[in-house]
A and B are shown apart, each in its own frame.
Chain A
Amino acid sequence: AQTVTQSQPEMSVQEAETVTLSCTYDTSESDYYLFWYKQPPSRQMILVIRQEAYKQQNATENRFSVNFQKAAKSFSLKISDSQLGDAAMYFCAYRYYGQNFVFGPGTRLSVLP
């Protein structure tokens, strides 16, 4: 069964600095999707970024970018120029075609002013 691991239960970053959240996963598939979701205190899940495994180019969305290492089964999220509004729980998720999402345990990110 696929599993997703986030080894950092909590992280903190100074405002305007850069932080990287780690995620590793286990799968025997070659084509799949990976996601980072943000859950702020409101509890609303928000998609941050998505990566298709067949694409070698790392996905980017404004201040958010990923480092996708397929062979290592690693999918880290980099947040640049951190803002107070970035404080939230971040969940890494995996999905293979036609199957359900598998979420990691989450990383709580604090942004210090």
Chain B
Amino acid sequence: GAVVSQHPSRVICKSGTSVKIECRSLDFQATTMFWYRQFPKKSLMLMATSNEGSKATYEQGVEKDKFLINHASLTLSTLTVTSAHPEDSSFYICSAARDNVYNEQFFGPGTRLTVL
């Protein structure tokens, strides 16, 4: 149980285009989902926290107009990178918590974004 999927696993896009990444909890309802960014050989950096049906909470320094997060249902959250640029190239990981205490997060397999 507690499986989280991400789609796509890899995406290459041209500079200036937008890219949507989906995060799904497959066998549980996720009250909260998290989006992380990971640079090569670095730790996870939390970008934002999203709760179903409400606006995401962004960490300091993360542009909310550039990284649009939608948590439309208890099993789906999406991250849209708008007007992507090469510096947005990174590994993006989502995770989901199945209760409000969220003493554990279940991680998706990640999405590698390359912006040309």
A interface, CB within 8 angstroms of B? 33, 35, 37, 42-47, 50, 91, 95, 97-98, 100-101, 103-106, 108
A-B contact count (CB 8 A): 42
Distance to closest chain B CB from A5 (angstroms)? 11
Cα–Cα distance between A96 and B38 once the two chains are bound (Å) = 22
Partner of A100, one of B41, B49, B100, B104: B49
A91 in contact with B44 given A43-B91, A45-B95 (CB within 8 Å):
yes
Pair B101/A97 contact, Cβ less than 8 Å: yes
Task: Please determine whether A103 and B44 come into contact, CB atoms closer than 8 angstroms.
Answer: yes
Of B15-23, B78-86, B105-113, the segment with at least 4 beta carbons within 8 Å of chain A is: B105-113
CB distance from A40 to the nearest CB of B (A): 11
- B residues in contact with A108, CB < 8 Å: 41
Do the beta carbons of A45 and B43 come within 8 Å of each other?
Answer: no
Residues of B that sit less than 8 Å from A by CB: 34, 38, 41-44, 46, 49, 91, 93, 95, 100-105, 107, 109-110
- Inter-chain CA distance A108–B40, complex, in Å, is 12
Which residues of the partner chain B approach A98 to less than 8 Å between Cβ atoms?
100-101
Given contacts A101-B46, A108-B41, 14 further A-B contacts (CB under 8 A): A35-B104, A42-B109, A43-B93, A43-B109, A43-B110, A44-B109, A45-B44, A45-B93, A45-B107, A46-B107, A91-B44, A100-B46, A105-B43, A106-B41
**A101–B105 Cα gap in the complex (Å)?**
9
Q: Which residue of B lies closest to A4 (CB)?
A: B43
CB distance A50 to B109 under 8 Å? no
